[in-house]
Amino acid sequence: MKKLFYVCLTLAVAVPVQLTAQRTQPLTLDRIFASREFAPQRFGPARWLEGGSYTTVEPSQAVDGAVEIVRYDASSGRREVMISAAQLTPPTQATPLLIEDYTWSADGDRLLIFTNSRRVWRRNTRGDYWVLDVGIGRLRQLGGDAPESTLMFAKFSPDGDRVGYVRQNNVYVEDLTSGRITQLTRDGSTTIINGTFDWVYEEEFSLRDGFRWSPDGTRIAYWQLDASGVRDFYLINDTDSLYSFVIPIQYPKAGTTNSAGRVGVVSAGGGPTTWFAIEGDPRNNYIARMEWAANSEEIIVQYLNRAQNTNRVLLGTAETGAVRTVFTDRDDAWLDVVDDLRWLDDGGRFTWVSERDGWRRVYMVSRDGETITAITPPETDVMSVEQISEADGWLYYMASPDNATQRYLYRVRLTGGGSPERISPADPGTHGYQISPDGRWAFHTYSTFDTPPVISLVSLPDHRVVRTVVDNAPLRERLATLNIPETEFFRVDVGEGVELDAWMMRPHNFDPSRKYPIVFYVYGEPAGQTVLDRWGGSRLLWHFLLTEQGYIVASMDNRGTPAPRGRDWRKIVYGEIGTISSQDQANGAQRIIADRPYVDGDRVGVWGWSGGGSSTLSAMFRYPDVYHTGMSVAPVPDQRYYDTIYQERYMGLPQENVEGYRNGSPITYANQLRGNLLIVHGTGDDNVHYQGTEALINRLIEHNKHFTMMAYPNRSHGIFEGRGTTRHLYGLLTRYLKENLPAGPR
């Protein structure tokens, strides 16, 4: 998100996408959003078992509309029904359970089933849990007298004889033999949250499940949040009853009071909790991760300061609650939480991911923190650790050293010696993996920008395809009947040595001697990339539809997006979210217009959602000479209105970076609007509050600026609730674009 002028446009990778079948069927909004014509095939959820086999959920061959769990031998492909639809039918019900997720006990004798779920913020994490004793066929529901759909995060104890779960902000253990339920915490309430999290911890740290069984099953470690100091934000529901009512959400806005977090250990049989004596104000530090430390006596904690630029790794003693710091990571900007901490050498070492030398590398850290050794190569960003095969001495990880738009599987010796070995085929695109515990097998998911995923079972490390699990042949056949535009991946040189990854799709009957309107799809925040060579689903199909209407569609990743291009690329935006990104985007747009005569510089559009909605506002307000029509969905017009963890991570506290918050907020420049602007927001958005859009509306009114807006009643950040909502939204965007940015060549 920087301010640079353009110099030239450089082609880095050109990827023509051509299908040989006859293209005769035009795309329509109804085909994309009101039917399942382009829905991909599903697979799973799949679970690897010991001995080179796996289970997955498939439609029942005996009961129409039901499912069953089947087991496959990875090598031979032999199939057997492990759990039939009849076994999944409770004694008091006529129909089998719908399996939303499932877990096997360690010995495979019991099956834990999650069903009848309810949404909590982004995901369905509340529901009903059932346990099937496979040997005797007994199926029973957990929770005793718990109300429907109130259990969360149920999981077996290591011996498989008990299940722990969260119910209404308290932690419970249920004995599967006797049926006895032990309540481990009793102070759970709307403000005391045990074993799970408040809104901001869930949204920004991806923390939902807040308790952990010890390896020996004798103890449970859990988070507790005290949200009593957090102010409620009220969503107003005007449509679900005769009189409106408010929905309070504990939501700490940037610079305000957070929940106080702590971690404790309690006996799985009940009793007092031993709280860990972690120093510092719990409302101004974060316990961002916690796990048992490869034994049943200690836990390991990632302890972030509020600025999120110092991560202390703590070891805590379960018996006493004493803690000690074993390792500290720091950065001048911010640190990402490490999700790839794995124990090796019977707990003697753990893996750590750090950008300490300018690249995201995997290190091996001794338990006492005294020895730190780099494992992955320099000047290469590791996107994630996929598997560690300690017996063979290999670490498997995702990376793409040569092209930030793609993803490949690599492996390197745990000793750090030798060159990394690429395991994925060289085929350009995105490769993803679900690797078996022994590292011998994997489900390989492969797609490109406009070819849907193929899921194959492969052997490792030779990557031999054993069989195709999902080929998406019906979807490919339907795509072959469309006027799929040619898509080009390239880089845009915006000056001073900065090149932005980009893609562009042109109408299928493109005439380079004429000029076409261009629409830029933008996100621009540190939370995601738009320029990725992978299947884009319904949004991609909508972009195809726009090319059929006569638009060029393009996207660029500005600096600050999480591309594997080094720490400096990602963190140059620190304290300047919204400024560097919008200038990169505007300079890139001007470079494309200047270097490609077929792009009409008088018809330039931009659109985006969430952070992309904010980027759209910045484009329209800060660069009115470049952009003429913008469509901003669910934006953050004023960064002070967003939450503590996200906004402060990248901007610092608003009290300490007043100018940064002001300059980075689109609302500051609303008086400069000259083009056509559509603002769309759901009034029930618990994430990016409708409040921000209302504040922007007031500012635009103050400056007598014409704009168009659409409020979707009670819809959340995704604006999908309610019959026909998605179809209506994309119909609105399509219509607004055609009315305000004339389509077709000139």
702 is a domain residue: yes
Contact of 682 with 690, CB cutoff 8 Å: yes
What is the percent of the chain with per-residue pLDDT over 90, rounded to a whole number? 95
Q: What is the pLDDT of residues 235-272, one digit of tens each?
A: 999 999 999 999 999 999 999 999 999 999 999 999 99
Q: What is the mean pLDDT of residues 701-713?
A: 98
pLDDT score for 469: 96
Lookup: tokens for 170: 């308290």
Task: With a cut of 70, say whether residue 10 has pLDDT above it.
Answer: no
Rounded (5°) CA angle 446-451-454: 35
- Domain with residue 714: its CATH number is 3.40.50.1820
Total structural domains in the chain? Answer: 1
Lookup: tokens for 686: 């618990």
Q: What is the mean pLDDT of residues 349-356?
A: 98
239 is a domain residue: no
Lookup: tokens for 200: 């901001």
φ/ψ of 626, rounded to 5, equals -95, -45
Helix H or strand E encompassing 726: helix 725-740
348 is a domain residue: no
Task: With a cut of 80, say whether residue 4 has pLDDT above it.
Answer: no
Lookup: tokens for 645: 């963890």
Distance of CA 348 to the CA centre of its chain: 32
pLDDT score for 416: 87
pTM: 0.94
Lookup: tokens for 235: 């969503």
Mean confidence (pLDDT) of the chain: 95
Contact of 420 with 426, CB cutoff 8 Å: no
312 is a domain residue: no
Contacts 24+ apart (CB under 8 A), 283-289: 283/229, 283/257, 283/258, 283/259, 284/258, 285/261, 286/201, 286/205, 286/258, 286/261, 286/645, 287/223, 287/261, 287/262, 287/263, 288/205, 288/207, 288/337, 289/337, 289/338, 289/339, 289/341
Q: What is the mean pLDDT of residues 552-577?
A: 98
pLDDT score for 16: 38
Distance, CA of 18 to CA of 147 (rounded, Å): 54
Task: With a cut of 50, say whether residue 567 has pLDDT above it.
Answer: yes
Q: What is the pLDDT of residues 478-534, one digit of tens each?
A: 999 998 898 999 999 999 999 999 999 999 899 999 999 999 999 999 999 999 999
pLDDT score for 14: 35
463 is a domain residue: no
Task: With a cut of 80, say whether residue 3 has pLDDT above it.
Answer: no
Q: What is the pLDDT of residues 153-188, one digit of tens each?
A: 999 999 999 999 999 999 999 999 999 999 999 999
Band of pLDDT at residue 25, cut at 50, 70 and 90: confident
397 is a domain residue: no
DSSP code of residue 641: G
68 is a domain residue: no
Band of pLDDT at residue 330, cut at 50, 70 and 90: very high
Task: With a cut of 60, say whether residue 11 has pLDDT above it.
Answer: no
DSSP code of residue 147: P
Domain carrying residue 544: 8-21+484-740
pLDDT score for 417: 81
Q: What is the mean pLDDT of residues 344-351?
A: 97
Q: What is the mean pLDDT of residues 130-140?
A: 95
